[in-house]
Structures are given as structure tokens and as C-alpha cells.
């Protein structure tokens, strides 16, 4: 495999030539669309008056739910979310009106003149309170293995507790947004910043009351998605499309950063209960957990996220008796949504807290319990899938070996003995993440390949390039299959007219699904070319044919044909030089009625060793190092995969340590800008980030045996939480530190001096 290709977008990114939605040259007469959103988290709209605003200079029209031509509904999994609020509002930031203006300034002025009266209704922001009042977004779920009640009775040690993990703002560099214009036959074309072009198409068709064939969605690229544009791009696509369709003019709708932060959902916060039981040899016998997911005001993707929390509730551990329950709770916050890991990180944090709790109480080192209970081949996940090609222990053992855990422990102990006001802490964080959409139906993809008569190639797939480097991988697939230079191939935009019924670029599965579909398309063309060579050019059916470096080899010898003249001759002979590829992941299945099956194509494994230093006067901390052994399979592009791994780790550390999404009791987002919401920057990344590629064959279900890499590394960041917690305990062994993430400097400081010893 050609690993030297790197990321083909790198040069354009750093020179500003990559094209995002707001860079697309617009048409004359384009309208600007601004959203007027609810200033109240829950209430009944008793009056709304925008007549004065509509008369203002530059305002073309103001649209409400009454102007929606089709259905006022954008809920993807459950139809519970209006595009524009009708008579009630359910979260602060909920879109109510669209201000359509000749320019953006006019729209902003007009918004100030809108008069609205809302009768207040009770606001709930806490998932447990919502649960107590029976407010659920979807039916609760539970995964059961063995018999916990009986086995807890037999456990020598039982520990119970609660955990909290916070939300996380996706903070894609490019905000949400779309640009749309009307096309012939009452149709519309939309350029959208979305991970799910088909989801935007489907939603717009529903809102306009037209067939999906009248809605074309084109996605050149995204300035980041991180899950935030898996479903929530649809509303912005619909705003622009609705205006374009009704007023028959081009329209653009792109929120500013603070509008985006206020109106869109984030990672679901969780509040959870756990109970863990061990025998005298530190085997985990039983595990019980209840997850209260803060879903926000509409289901969005929360029911699917809830499911993935259950799938990853036992992380990398084999536990014979498991009983885990999850509730998707309806609160008056913006509908929370996908974020890298998709509920998996939330589930893993709880089991790691439970194990840490047990270790601290038993006064044993936590890594002894972790290693002892690590999953292995032949074990059964609580959802019925049997563990195969397991790399959990391999990653763990290699990490503890090459990073020399025993000497690290000694150095940390020595450092802590020598230093009064600086303390170090370490942690080991194993990860086992299932690859596939948990909804089996979504594990399919298609690709369209054209070989042009000059030998150049155009490739379209359902994959959305969002900075993760999927286009580079697609290019490698086509170049490798055809035996031609990547320079001959162009990756086209993601477009619903060229490639239909796409699943969103999500679940770490984009390269696998679309890569395999692309391989299918390329192979079809290649087979036609090879049989053309055999029957028309050489008249010998028994030859072995191969194309290497654009030269056609017949029976291992270079022939007079090269790629270019082969294509020219094939074209003259009217050979079909285009193909549509299709892929549907084999084997996978899941039966929700019994919550058992084989939902994942394979799993990705790894272990991270994190070391931190806490400043015990200030409560601040630095991550000294994160050292990882990660199972990439056989990586097809080490530069891209390494980048994904590094980015994921830093994002995970952000979630666990500094990013704090705060809503007040009225449901108002207080961390509503980059001045109040802190994400990792160049100064807060680990001083050392060392990632070793575990040497394995990889998995056949992965494209070129190169395993999915998007989400799994994020969960290494959970290790930073425990390392910091351990450093605080080194300073203050009596510290009472709740398992409450993120562990911000404020919480660290409280832990250091609580109970206050003077």
C-alpha cells in the first residue's frame, strides 16, 4: 500500500484554497436568512408580531411555521421536532422565524423589532428530574447478560456510586450552514455543510412536500463535523432551501458562532449510577449501571446514542453478569446529538469510575483490576457478539512493556515524594470500540466511477470529507485498484444525484463502507478492461493481466499497452467505462427485541498511558504525556491515521478536563462563546504524544485491512481524568472527589483542599 500519499488536502487547507459553503461563488440576487430563536426555554407563545420588522428596509419577508409548504417536521429517528416552533417553545435557541433580507445587516436590525410574548412553563434541565416526571424521548433500553442479582449476593466486594459526565460543544471550525437556489421543475439545489447529504435531502423534501428527486444536495467539504453535522445540518439546509423554493431566489443561511453554539445540540451529558461486584481474586463478577441521558427537547439521535452507551458499558472488560439500563430523558435544552464516540465515551467513563472506586477502596492498584478482567477471544459481549481477533491484552501488554509502566510508577512516586506543591498522577485507559452503525440498515454505501476517454478518472462516493482525510483514502483505493497514479484521479464532491441514499459520514465507518463500494465499482471497470484485452487485443483467454504503474502486464511481462492507450482503445470499441459500486457489510445483525446479535463488523482496541502534573497551589495541571499502543490493523495511510488518533486524544482530553457546557436553571447557555468555553489549544495538548502502531494483520471487513480510526482514540482522553484525580489524591489522600467530569482546575482546587486542612 502506498503510504506516502498523506492527506491530499493539506496544501489547499494551509493556503486557504479549500472551498467551504461560504466560499462558493454565489448568484446574483442572493438572500440572507437569519433565524429568530426563542429567548425562553419552555413556554407557550401567546403573541408574536413581526409586522414592523417586515416593513424595514432590506427585509424581503419573514417566514413562520405557517409558511412551511410541507410538513413542519425534521425529527430523523422520531418525528418530534418542528423545523420552526408553532405555539410552544421547548428550548432556548429554538428557531421560530426566518428573517429573509437583501443583506445580513438588515436582517440583524429587523430581529430587534420582533415582538414576542411567551407564557412561561416549567423548565427542566436535569435528566434525573425529567426521568422522575416521566419525561422520556424514547423507550428505555436494557442489556442483560447472566444474572446480576444472584451473582451480587455471591460477591465478596460490592461498590456503588454515581458519576456525571458533561456535554461537549462540537466546535467545528466552520459553523453550520447552507446555500440553496431554485432549479427547474420546482426543484432546489443545496450546498450544505453536512455529514449526511441524504439526511438533508430527505428532511428538505419533507419540509417542502416534494419528492426527494427534487432536492439535490451537494457537499464539497466540511470544516469539521465531529457528529454535530450528522443530523443537525438538516435544519440549516431546510432554512435555505425553503426560502429559495418559496421566493425563487438563491438563499444562504449560515449562523454566527454564538448563534450556532446557542441553537445547536452537543454531546449528551449523562448522570449515572453504578454497582460493581468483585470476588476475592479481584475478578469483576457483576456490573450494574443505570444511565440517565440528557437528551434535550427532541430525540434527534439520542435514542441511537443511548444504545451505543449500552454497547460500550463494559468497555474492554469481560464481565459474566451485566445489567445495564439507559433512559433518554427529555429536558428543555437544545436537542443533544452525535459527538465523536456517540455515547460510547459516556458509557466507558462509568465503568472506569466503578473500577477506580473499587481499587481505591480495596487499596490495590487499579491497573491490576483492569488487566485481570480484560476481554479476550471467545468471551461474549453483553449484547451477544463473541469476541474475535481480540487485541485488548496485546495493546495493554505492549503499552505497559514499551512505556515501562513499572518504572513510570516509581518515578512518579519519587517525584511526589520530592515535591510538596507539584504532584504527578498516571492512569491506564484501555479502549474497545465497535465498528459499524448500530442500526444495521445504515451499513451500506455506493460509489460512482467514471474513467474518461483520456484515461483520467472521476470518483464520487457517499463519503463526506470533513478534514478526516477520507478523500485521500478513497483516492488510494481507486489508484491501487487500477494500478494508476493518484494524480490521474479526481475526488468529486459528495452529491445526492450522483450517489443516492447515503448513510452519514459517521460511526468511524465512512472509509470502510465507501471504500468497499468504490472498490466494487473499480473492479467492475477493471474486469471489463481485462476481458477486453483478452478478447480484442491479444485473443488469448488464459493470460494473467495486471496493471502496475499504468503499464499493462501480460503474463508478468510489460506489454505495449499502458493505461492511457488501453482506455482510448476500449472507448473506441465502446466498452463501458463507468460503474456504480455497492457495499453492504456482511454478517452483522442485531435483534432489538432481545437486545442480542452481532452488531459490529469488528472492534478497535488500544491502551493509553497518561501522565499529568498538578500544580497544587493553583489547581492547574499539565498533561505531560499520553503514550498509546493502538490497533490500526494494517494502516493504509499512516499520516492520516496518526492525525486522527492525535486529534481524537486531544478532543477526549478536552471533554474530560476543561470543556464545560453550562446552562443555568432557565436553560440559558452560559458557556456561549469561546471566551467562556475552553477547548484544548496548542498550550494544553500533551507535551508528549507517542502513538505506536500495534502490528497486526488487520481485519478483512476493514478497507484494505486498515481499521476504522475516527472515534476510538477519543476515549483515551478519559485517562486524563483519572490521572489528574490520582495526582490530587497524592497531595490530599482524604480528598473527596466525585466522579464528575470534566475535572476542571476549579474542581481540582476544591479537591486539593477539601476537606480543608488549613
Number of residues in contact with ligand MOS under rule CB under 6 A = 10
Q: Which stretch binds ligand MOS (CB under 6 A): 58-66, 175-183, 317-325, 334-342?
A: 334-342
646 assigned to active site: no
Least CB distance to ligand MOS at residue 510 (A)? 8
Nearer to ligand MOS by Cβ, of 333 and 338: the residue is 338
Residues 6+ apart with CB under 8 A from 249: 29, 30, 31, 181, 182, 243
470 binds, among ligand LUZ, ligand MOS, none (CB under 5 to 8 A by kind): none
Nearer to ligand MOS by Cβ, of 340 and 747: the residue is 340
CA atoms within 13 A on the CB side of 713: 27
Angle (nearest 5°) at CA 236 between 233 and 241: 120
110 binds, among ligand LUZ, ligand MOS, none (CB under 5 to 8 A by kind): none
In the list 230, 307, 659, 660, the residue contacting ligand MOS (rule: CB under 6 A) is: 230
* Strand-pair category, 251-253 with 284-296: unpaired
**Binding to ligand MOS by residue 92, rule CB under 6 A?**
no
Least CB distance to ligand MOS at residue 438 (A)? 11
**Binding to ligand MOS by residue 437, rule CB under 6 A?**
no
Contact present, 22 and 193 (Cβ < 8 Å): no
Identify whether 714 is preceded by a cis peptide bond (ω within 30 of 0): no
In the list 167, 197, 220, 227, the residue contacting ligand MOS (rule: CB under 6 A) is: 227
600 binds, among ligand LUZ, ligand MOS, none (CB under 5 to 8 A by kind): none
Q: Which residue ranges make up the site for ligand LUZ (CB under 6 A)? A: 230, 301, 304, 308, 338, 342, 437-439, 506-507
339 binds, among ligand MOS, ligand LUZ, none (CB under 5 to 8 A by kind): ligand MOS
Least CB distance to ligand LUZ at residue 654 (A)? 18
Integer Cα distance of 528 and 743 in angstroms: 59
438 binds, among ligand MOS, ligand LUZ, none (CB under 5 to 8 A by kind): ligand LUZ
In the list 245, 291, 292, 339, the residue contacting ligand MOS (rule: CB under 6 A) is: 339
Nearer to ligand MOS by Cβ, of 260 and 711: the residue is 711
End-to-end CA distance of the chain: 62
Residues 10-69 that bind ligand MOS (CB under 6 A): none
Contact present, 222 and 172 (Cβ < 8 Å): yes
**Binding to ligand MOS by residue 338, rule CB under 6 A?**
yes
| Contact letters for ligand MOS, residues 347-366 (x by CB under 6 A) | --------------------
**Rg of the chain over all Cα atoms, to the nearest angstrom:** 27
Contact present, 524 and 581 (Cβ < 8 Å): yes
What H or E segment, with its residue span, contains residue 656? helix 638-657
195 binds, among ligand LUZ, ligand MOS, none (CB under 5 to 8 A by kind): ligand MOS
Count other C-beta atoms under 10 Å from residue 372's C-beta. Answer: 14
DSSP states along 68-95:
-SS-S---SSSS---SS--SEE-STT-E
194 binds, among ligand LUZ, ligand MOS, none (CB under 5 to 8 A by kind): none
Q: Which of 739, 722, 743 is nearest to 655 (CA)?
A: 743
276 binds, among ligand LUZ, ligand MOS, none (CB under 5 to 8 A by kind): none
Contact present, 207 and 235 (Cβ < 8 Å): no
Residues forming beta bridges with residue 156, ordered by sequence position: none
Q: Which of 610, 609, 621 is nearest to 731 (CA)?
A: 621
| Contact letters for ligand MOS, residues 704-723 (x by CB under 6 A) | -------x------------
Number of residues that this document lists for the chain: 758
Integer Cα distance of 431 and 707 in angstroms: 14
Residues 177-206 that bind ligand MOS (CB under 6 A): 195
Catalytic pick among 230, 465, 659, 711: 711
In the list 236, 342, 621, 721, the residue contacting ligand MOS (rule: CB under 6 A) is: 342
Integer Cα distance of 677 and 355 in angstroms: 30
CA atoms within 13 A on the CB side of 235: 32
* Strand-pair category, 187-192 with 215-219: parallel
Look at residue 430 and give its three-state secondary structure: strand
What H or E segment, with its residue span, contains residue 587? none
Q: Which stretch binds ligand MOS (CB under 6 A): 67-75, 337-345, 616-624, 727-735?
A: 337-345
Count other C-beta atoms under 10 Å from residue 213's C-beta. Answer: 13
Least CB distance to ligand MOS at residue 335 (A)? 14
Least CB distance to ligand LUZ at residue 590 (A)? 10
Least CB distance to ligand LUZ at residue 217 (A)? 18
437 binds, among ligand MOS, ligand LUZ, none (CB under 5 to 8 A by kind): ligand LUZ
Nearer to ligand LUZ by Cβ, of 391 and 510: the residue is 510
Residues carrying an active site annotation: 711
Residues that bind ligand MOS (CB under 6 A): 195, 227, 230, 338-340, 342, 506-507, 711
Amino acid at each position: 500500500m502506498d503510504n506516502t500519499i498523506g492527506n491530499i488536502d493539506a496544501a489547499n487547507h494551509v493556503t486557504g484554497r479549500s472551498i467551504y459553503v461560504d466560499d462558493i461563488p454565489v448568484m446574483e440576487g442572493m438572500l440572507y436568512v437569519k433565524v429568530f430563536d426563542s429567548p425562553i426555554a419552555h413556554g407557550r407563545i401567546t403573541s408574536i408580531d413581526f409586522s414592523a420588522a417586515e416593513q424595514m428596509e432590506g427585509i424581503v419577508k419573514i417566514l413562520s411555521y405557517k409558511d412551511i409548504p410541507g410538513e413542519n417536521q425534521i425529527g430523523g429517528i422520531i418525528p418530534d421536532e418542528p423545523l420552526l416552533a408553532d405555539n410552544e417553545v421547548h428550548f432556548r435557541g429554538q428557531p421560530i422565524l426566518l428573517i429573509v433580507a437583501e443583506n445580513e445587516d438588515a436582517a440583524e436590525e429587523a430581529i430587534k423589532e420582533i415582538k414576542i410574548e411567551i407564557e412561561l412553563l416549567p423548565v427542566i434541565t436535569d435528566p434525573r428530574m425529567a426521568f422522575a416526571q416521566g419525561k422520556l424521548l424514547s423507550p428505555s433500553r436494557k442489556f442483560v447478560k447472566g444474572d446480576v442479582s444472584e451473582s451480587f449476593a455471591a460477591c465478596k466486594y460490592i461498590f456503588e456510586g454515581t458519576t456525571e459526565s458533561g456535554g461537549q460543544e462540537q466546535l467545528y471550525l466552520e459553523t453550520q450552514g447552507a446555500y440553496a437556489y431554485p432549479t427547474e421543475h420546482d426543484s432546489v439545489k443545496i450546498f450544505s455543510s453536512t455529514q449526511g447529504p441524504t439526511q438533508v435531502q430527505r428532511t428538505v423534501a419533507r419540509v417542502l412536500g416534494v419528492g426527494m428527486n427534487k432536492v439535490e444536495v451537494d457537499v464539497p467539504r466540511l470544516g469539521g463535523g465531529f457528529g454535530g453535522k450528522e443530523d443537525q445540518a438538516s435544519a440549516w439546509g431546510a432554512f435555505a432551501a425553503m426560502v429559495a423554493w418559496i421566493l425563487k431566489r438563491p438563499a444562504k443561511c449560515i449562523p454566527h458562532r454564538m448563534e450556532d453554539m446557542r441553537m445547536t445540540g452537543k454531546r449528551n451529558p449523562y448522570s449515572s449510577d453504578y454497582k460493581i461486584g468483585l470476588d476475592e481474586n479481584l475478578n469483576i463478577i457483576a456490573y450494574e449501571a443505570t444511565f440517565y441521558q440528557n437528551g434535550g427537547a427532541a430525540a434527534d439521535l439520542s435514542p441511537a446514542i443511548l444504545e451505543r452507551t449500552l454497547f460500550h458499558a463494559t468497555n474492554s472488560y469481560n464481565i459474566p453478569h451485566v445489567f445495564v439500563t439507559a433512559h433518554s430523558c427529555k429536558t428543555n435544552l437544545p436537542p443533544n446529538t452525535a459527538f465523536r464516540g456517540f455515547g460510547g465515551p459516556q458509557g466507558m467513563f462509568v465503568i472506569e469510575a466503578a473500577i477506580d472506586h473499587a481499587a481505591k477502596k480495596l487499596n490495590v492498584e487499579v491497573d491490576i483490576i483492569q488487566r485481570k478482567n480484560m476481554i479476550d477471544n471467545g468471551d461474549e459481549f453483553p449484547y451477544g457478539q463473541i469476541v474475535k481477533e481480540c487485541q485488548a491484552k496485546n495493546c495493554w501488554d505492549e503499552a505497559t512493556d514499551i512505556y515501562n509502566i513499572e518504572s513510570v510508577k516509581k518515578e512518579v512516586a519519587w517525584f511526589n515524594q520530592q515535591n510538596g506543591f507539584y504532584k504527578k498522577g498516571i492512569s491506564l485507559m484501555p479502549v474497545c470500540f465497535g465498528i459499524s452503525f448500530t442500526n444495521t440498515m445504515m451499513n451500506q454505501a455506493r460509489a460512482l466511477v467514471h474513467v474518461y476517454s483520456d484515461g483520467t478518472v472521476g470518483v464520487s462516493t457517499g463519503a463526506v470529507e470533513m478534514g478526516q482525510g477520507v478523500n485521500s483514502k478513497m483516492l488510494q483505493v481507486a489508484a491501487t485498484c487500477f494500478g494508476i497514479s493518484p494524480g490521474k484521479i479526481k475526488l468529486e464532491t459528495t452529491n445526492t444525484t450522483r450517489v443516492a441514499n447515503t448513510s452519514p459520514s459517521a460511526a468511524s465507518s465512512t472509509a470502510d463502507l465507501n471504500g468497499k463500494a468504490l472498490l466494487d465499482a473499480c473492479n467492475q471497470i477493471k474486469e471489463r478492461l481485462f476481458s477486453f484485452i483478452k478478447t480484442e487485443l491479444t485473443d488469448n483467454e488464459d493470460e494473467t493481466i495486471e496493471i502496475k504503474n499504468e503499464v499493462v502486464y501480460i503474463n508478468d511481462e510489460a506489454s505495449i499497452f499502458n493505461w492511457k492507450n488501453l482506455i482510448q482503445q476500449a472507448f473506441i470499441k465502446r466498452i463501458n467505462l463507468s460503474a456504480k459500486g455497492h457495499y453492504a457489510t456482511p454478517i452483522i445483525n442485531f435483534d432489538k427485541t432481545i437486545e442480542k446479535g452481532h452488531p459490529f463488523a469488528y472492534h478497535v482496541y488500544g491502551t493509553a498511558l497518561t501522565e499529568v502534573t498538578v500544580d497544587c497551589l493553583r489547581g492547574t495541571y499539565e498533561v505531560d504525556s499520553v503514550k498509546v499502543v493502538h490497533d490500526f490493523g494494517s494502516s493504509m495511510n499512516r499520516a492520516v491515521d496518526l492525525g486522527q488518533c492525535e486529534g481524537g486524544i486531544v478532543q477526549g482530553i478536552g471533554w474530560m478536563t476543561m470543556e464545560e457546557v453550562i446552562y443555568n436553571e432557565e436553560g440559558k447557555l452560559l458557556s456561549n462563546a469561546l471566551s467562556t468555553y475552553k477547548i484544548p489549544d496548542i498550550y494544553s495538548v500533551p507535551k508528549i504524544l507517542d502513538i505506536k502502531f500495534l502490528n497486526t494483520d488487520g481485519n478483512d471487513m476493514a478497507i484494505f485491512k486498515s481499521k476504522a480510526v475516527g472515534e476510538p482514540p477519543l476515549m483515551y482522553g478519559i485517562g486524563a481524568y483519572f490521572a489528574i484525580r490520582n495526582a490530587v489524591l497524592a497531595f490530599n489522600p482524604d480528598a473527596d472527589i466525585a466522579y464528575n467530569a470534566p475535572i476542571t482546575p476549579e474542581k481540582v482546587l476544591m479537591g486539593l483542599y477539601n476537606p480543608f486542612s488549613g
